[in-house]
Amino acid sequence: MRTSALLLITLLSISSSHAFEISDNFWETGQAVFHVGISGSSPTGGTWNDAFKRSMAAWSSVGSFEFVAIDDYLDPCIDRGEGLFGDGATGVDFGASVCGSEFGESTLAVTLSAGQCLNQQCTGGFTITDADIVFNDGVTWDVYSGSLRLDGSSEFERVALHELGHALGLNHSTADAAIMRAFVSDTNSLQSDDIAGIASIYGAEEATLANIYGVTLVAPDNATISGPNNSNNLSGVLSSSDNQLDGKSLDLYQYTFENDSLIDIQLDSQSFDPFLYLVRVSATQASLPSSTFVDDNSGLGNNARINRSIQAGTYWLGVSSANNNAQGSYDVSIISSTSNPSSSFETFTSIYDVDVLINPNPNISGSLESTDFEFNNKFLDLVQIEVTTASAVKIDLSSSDFDTSLLLVDIVNNEVGTLALQNDDGGSGANSRIETTLQPGTYWLGVTSFDPNESGNYDIAISLVLP
């Protein structure tokens, strides 16, 4: 269920420098699927579709964001039931109007972005779920490279490049040469300022481990490990056809640890001297040096073992060898344990006569019960958290018993302050998620249900959001 949606319109004007500007909006997956089925061809430069897809590929090649083209037509203006433009399916076409509204007098094209707000006021931007593009049919278009022609025609491919920049979350740049400058110019390719812009949202291409090493990732069964206690085992074979890292074969597995955990990973082989990597990766698959761990011989014999506490997050587990050209089978055992925080609740009664549970642990378990405080016929638990240093946080509320709804307010001088965030389904399934930056202070997390009179167990996980 969507809590709120916002429509953003960005324009490109004809005519004749700080630099890139990002919107607060981004594709959560780092990927946007475009239906590309514009009919017809330009007078001298081939089909519109080829030009549009070249522009998509240009953006995909310079950063960790990817445009994916599907070769079919989708009317960018069609309403597919979730609000105009916010249909979650992204199309492109020429149009005599912007889906019913007139083009501005000098407007060449419009990108219509929609998504799910990150907070109730939508002041923190939104995760983009749709970005339709309409080119002005009243303009004479062609496709060509180089300087703008003086014959009055507009060049389609560089305008597509510009609009796709809006679609991925960039605003206009003040850099003279940038493709994201507000006005069309002789620039017909992505410039360093544009590339810095996309990198600031999605991460730089160079920072990606997979890109550096050209590695293939494997997501093993049970790749999500959640607390309080969990284990996973896998077996594999290191071979000469694997990814190679410094002359050594490398198998990479991706695991997500949902809680801060004490982990014990053992890598054993009878065939070679194993070498173990554990590397935390960001949402854009950049490695985080502060959470990169390696081991050669901490296990039995020559075996490798990493036994330590780690923060919740996504990790790549690398199996390699201490020596070059080593091959053979191996076994990995992962044991993860999370301290169970549910017994550490203290309770106090707030000035609102509501019981507030105080819990200093980042992972909190509780249950909504019919004896709880009731608000709009929904049961409510309040959990107080203290933030000591300004932090970008991700707060997940999950339950298999009810459709969760998560509230976050700040408490100033024992009163509810100005911050009031709410989320219903921002997490997986019907779970809730709030991502925001919290200044030092006191906050109450409200745990409630989307539907009235629901009860059951829930878990809250608070983690730092990675860059």
What residues line the site for Zn ion (CB under 5 A)? Answer: 12
Residue number with CB closer to Zn ion (32 or 304): 32
Residue 227 CB, shortest distance to Zn ion, in Å, is: 46
In this structure, the number of other CB atoms found within 10 A of the CB of residue 123 comes to 10
Task: Report the b/e string of 237-252 with b at 16+ CB within 10 A.
Answer: ebeeebbebeebbbbb
Residue number with CB closer to Zn ion (158 or 280): 158
Residue number with CB closer to Zn ion (47 or 106): 106
Q: Which residue is nearest to Zn ion (CB)?
A: 12
Residue number with CB closer to Zn ion (197 or 446): 197
Residue 52 CB, shortest distance to Zn ion, in Å, is: 16
Token pair for 404? 């969760």
Select from 266, 209, 245, 216 the least CA-distant residue to 326.
Answer: 245
Phi-psi region of 50 (alpha: psi -120 to 50; beta: other; left: phi over 0): alpha
Residue 12 CB, shortest distance to Zn ion, in Å, is: 4
Residue number with CB closer to Zn ion (120 or 171): 171
Instruction: Please provide the DSSP assignment of 34-67 as one string.
Output: EE----SB-SSS-BHHHHHHHHHHHHHTTBS-EE
Residue 199 CB, shortest distance to Zn ion, in Å, is: 19
Residue number with CB closer to Zn ion (93 or 194): 194
In this structure, the number of other CB atoms found within 10 A of the CB of residue 147 comes to 11
Select from 311, 296, 224, 221 the least CA-distant residue to 262.
Answer: 311
Residue 18 CB, shortest distance to Zn ion, in Å, is: 16
Residue 11 CB, shortest distance to Zn ion, in Å, is: 6
Residue number with CB closer to Zn ion (180 or 395): 180
- The answer, yes or no, to whether the previous bond of 228 is cis (omega within 30 of 0) is yes
Residue 8 CB, shortest distance to Zn ion, in Å, is: 11
State the Cα–Cα distance between residues 63 and 132, nearest whole angstrom. 21
Residue 155 CB, shortest distance to Zn ion, in Å, is: 15
Per the listing, tokens 């053979």 go with: 328
State the Cα–Cα distance between residues 430 and 411, nearest whole angstrom. 27
Residue 67 CB, shortest distance to Zn ion, in Å, is: 17
Instruction: Please provide the DSSP assignment of 101-118 as one string.
Output: BPPPTTEEEEEEEEEEES
Residue number with CB closer to Zn ion (128 or 385): 128
Spatial neighbors of 290 by CB under 8 A, at least 6 apart, are: none
Residue number with CB closer to Zn ion (200 or 455): 200
State the Cα–Cα distance between residues 146 and 45, nearest whole angstrom. 12
Spatial neighbors of 150 by CB under 8 A, at least 6 apart, are: none
Task: Report the b/e string of 299-335 with b at 16+ CB within 10 A.
Answer: beeebbbbeeebbbbbbbbbbbbeeeebeeebbbbbb
Residue number with CB closer to Zn ion (13 or 121): 13
Residue 136 CB, shortest distance to Zn ion, in Å, is: 13
State the Cα–Cα distance between residues 85 and 81, nearest whole angstrom. 9
Q: What's the length of the chain? A: 467
Residue 180 CB, shortest distance to Zn ion, in Å, is: 7
Residue number with CB closer to Zn ion (179 or 357): 179
The count of C-alpha atoms lying within 13 angstroms of the C-alpha of 57, restricted to the half-sphere facing its C-beta, is 8
